[in-house]
């Protein structure tokens, strides 16, 4: 009897764990890499730099939609950072197709020009294929019979 209870508890925990994994969201962070240079294009000396990242709705506005600052280790001018890991992105931050990244090192003015954030190929494909409009578009094999959507002959 005890073995049956253990088995039932183990199965329940396993099912719950799998359900949590199945509903896990895509991480709401951006991996960003860059190279810091001086005004002549020479890499800055190795060291730690205070850097503030901000996201804007366009390339010129002064009010940011999001921002976080951090101390970055720079080697040969190169750095890597996970944006959104300190200050999470708001739910609708990327609901508009135009977002711009501003970077400020220390107390210097923000680096100009800002960088336009764009999607990568597989993310663009995932967005397109994860919509009902794409699923029902002609030529993809799905047929809408009014009350039933089914996979037709391809």
pLDDT digits (tens, 9 = 90+) for 73-126: 999 999 999 999 999 998 888 887 789 999 999 999 999 999 998 877 666 556
* Residue 10: its H or E element: helix 2-22
Does any domain span residue 19?
Answer: no
The CATH number of the domain holding residue 49 is: 2.60.40
Look at residue 21 and tell me whether its pLDDT is greater than 50: no
Domain presence at residue 126: yes
Q: Which domain holds residue 82?
A: 27-131
Q: 122, 67, 118: which is closest to 97 by C-alpha? A: 118
Q: The pTM is what? A: 0.66
The burial of 7, by beta-carbon neighbours within 10 Å (0-12 exposed, 13-18 middle, 19 or more buried), is given as exposed
Give 126-150 pLDDT, tens digit per residue.
655 555 555 555 555 666 666 766 6
Beta strand residue intervals within the chain, DSSP E: 30-35, 47-56, 66-74, 78-83, 100-105, 115-116, 142-144, 149-151
**Which residues, 6 or more positions from 32, have their beta carbon under 8 angstroms from its beta carbon?**
53, 80, 81, 82, 83, 101
- Answer for the pair 73, 31: CB distance below 8 angstroms, yes or no: no
Of the candidate ranges 1-5, 20-24, 104-108, 134-138, the one whose mean pLDDT is the lowest: 20-24
- What pLDDT, on the 0 to 100 scale, is given for residue 125? 59
Q: pLDDT, tens digit, for every residue of 44-71?
A: 999 999 999 999 999 999 999 999 999 9
Q: Looking at residues 2-13, what average pLDDT do you find?
A: 52
For 26-36, how does the pLDDT look when each residue is reduced to its tens digit (9 = 90+)?
678 888 999 99
Q: How many domains would you assign to the chain? A: 1
- Asked if the structure places residue 100 within a domain, the reply is yes
């Amino acid at each position: 009897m005890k073995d049956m209870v253990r088995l039932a508890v183990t199965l329940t925990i396993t099912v719950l764990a799998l359900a949590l994994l199945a509903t896990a969201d895509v991480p709401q962070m951006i991996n960003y890499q860059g190279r810091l240079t001086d005004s002549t294009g020479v890499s800055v000396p190795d060291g730690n730099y205070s850097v503030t990242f901000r996201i804007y709705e366009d390339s010129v506005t002064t009010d940011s939609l999001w921002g976080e600052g951090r101390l970055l280790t720079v080697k040969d001018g190169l750095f890597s950072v996970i944006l959104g890991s300190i200050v999470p992105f708001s739910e609708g931050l990327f609901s508009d197709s135009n977002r711009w990244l501003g970077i400020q090192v220390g107390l210097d003015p923000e680096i100009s020009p800002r960088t336009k954030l764009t999607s990568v190929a597989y993310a663009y494909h995932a967005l397109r294929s994860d919509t009902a409009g794409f699923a029902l578009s002609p030529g993809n094999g799905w047929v809408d019979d009014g009350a039933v959507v089914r996979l037709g002959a391809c």
